[in-house]
Amino acid sequence: MGDLLIRNIPDAMKRDIASRAEKNGNSLSDEAKSLLQKAMVGTSGADKATRSALDGFREIFSPLTEKEQEEFARVMDELEAERKKDFGRPLEGFD
pTM for the model stands at 0.45
Residue 5 lies in a domain: no
Q: How many domains does the chain have?
A: 2
Phi and psi, residue 51, nearest 5°: -120, 140
What average pLDDT does this structure show over 18-26?
93
- Does residue 48 sit within a domain? no
Q: Is residue 90 part of a domain?
A: no
Q: How far apart are CA 6 and CA 14, in angstroms?
A: 11
How much is the average pLDDT of 76-84? 86
Q: Where is pLDDT greater, at 61 or 46?
A: 61
Average pLDDT of every residue of the chain = 81
Greater confidence, 78 or 83?
78
Question: Among residues 45, 46, 72, which one has the least CA distance to residue 58?
Answer: 72
Residue 20 lies in a domain: yes
In a domain, 95, yes or no: no
pLDDT score of 10: 87
Task: Quote the domain boundaries for residue 73.
Answer: 53-84
